[in-house]
Amino acid sequence: MELLTSRQALQEWRRGVGEDLAFVPTMGALHAGHLSLVEAAQQLPGRTIASIFVNPTQFGPQEDFARYPRTLEQDRELLQDAGCDALFVPSVADIYAGSGQTRVQVEPLGSDLCGQFRPTHFQGVATVVTVLLNLVRPDRLYLGQKDYQQLVVLRRLVEDLALPVQVIGVPTVRESDGLALSSRNRYLSEAERLQACAVSQALLAAQQARRSGERQVAALQAVAHAVLQRYGVEKIDYIAVRDAETLLELPEGVVGAEDPVMLLAVRVGVTRLIDNLLLAL
């Protein structure tokens, strides 16, 4: 696997690679969820490049940028073993080499849901992904459904700006008890780790209620809320049921013909956890 640690090295490598390039952007501290994106990318012919960049502009001032886990050596081995062809690890200066005046916004979607609690987060994500796509010039972009709003924001970005890349969403990889894998799970203490199960349990309970015929958004939210409470999760940023494609609210608060998705964001201790589940029948 080629390790590319500068813009120049990437551009040189890119010149030798033809079409069918798949791209998996990450912030590192890799786990089986990230590796499932690499695996999905390898299902089609061509090469796969991953990137590791802890993007400062997507963290708020009170957030965990400084203590975000950085495990480059281990990440590199995992990607090498997974058969990834190249790893791009740019510096901040490689990514933000311009004047810094340009920002990419996907609005109002980027201010909804997580955007209400992390006001500049999706602007940071959309901006860094635009820069990465322009540098890497992949044919396919692999993103996890774990970060569902991010996936929808980036699909919009690609469509709205006619970026020449296909976006592929990959299903969430979970622990055996349902907790979605996340680099931030390592912040959890043992007791918090047990509480964290509440998130996937709440989603499953809502899915069950939907399958039993519940169509009222408020009732589905109440089912999820009750599970979170049972586990003692009190800091709930939101429990939402939205149209799975647009993330718009459902008309009249009732599930109609559209596929709904439930999205949750909670805090367990100081750790913010997000998860989601399609509530399709």
Q: Report, as residue numbers or ranges, the catalytic residues.
A: 34
Binds ligand AMP (CB under 6 A): choice among 4, 27, 165, 274 = 27
Per CB under 6 A, 26 contacts ligand AMP: yes
Distance between first and last Cα of the chain: 43
Per CB under 6 A, 36 contacts ligand AMP: yes
Q: Supply 89's token pair.
A: 């690890």
Q: Report the C-alpha gap between 158 and 166 in whole angstroms.
A: 8
Q: Supply 270's token pair.
A: 């100081």
Least CB distance to ligand AMP at residue 67 (A): 15
Per CB under 6 A, 146 contacts ligand AMP: yes
Residue entry with tokens 């909804």: 112
Binding segment for ligand AMP (CB under 6 A), chosen from 13-21, 82-90, 170-178, 197-205, is: 170-178
Per CB under 6 A, 273 contacts ligand AMP: no
For residues 260 and 280, the answer to whether their CB atoms sit within 8 Å is yes
Per CB under 6 A, 118 contacts ligand AMP: no
Binds ligand AMP (CB under 6 A): choice among 34, 76, 121, 140 = 34
Binds ligand AMP (CB under 6 A): choice among 10, 21, 33, 239 = 33
Per CB under 6 A, 172 contacts ligand AMP: yes
Q: Report the C-alpha gap between 161 and 148 in whole angstroms.
A: 20
For residues 85 and 42, the answer to whether their CB atoms sit within 8 Å is no
How far from chain centre, in Å, is Cα 2? 25
Closer CB to ligand AMP, 34 or 210, in the complex: 34
Closer CB to ligand AMP, 223 or 240, in the complex: 240
Smallest CA-to-CA distance from 248 within 53, 256, 142 is with 256
DSSP summary character for residue 181: P
Helices (H), the chain: 7-15, 32-41, 72-81, 92-95, 114-117, 121-136, 148-160, 190-211, 217-230
Per CB under 6 A, 180 contacts ligand AMP: yes
Binds ligand AMP (CB under 6 A): choice among 144, 205, 244, 276 = 144
Least CB distance to ligand AMP at residue 220 (A): 23
The binding site for ligand AMP (CB under 6 A) comprises 26-27, 33-34, 36-37, 143-144, 146-147, 170, 172-173, 180-183
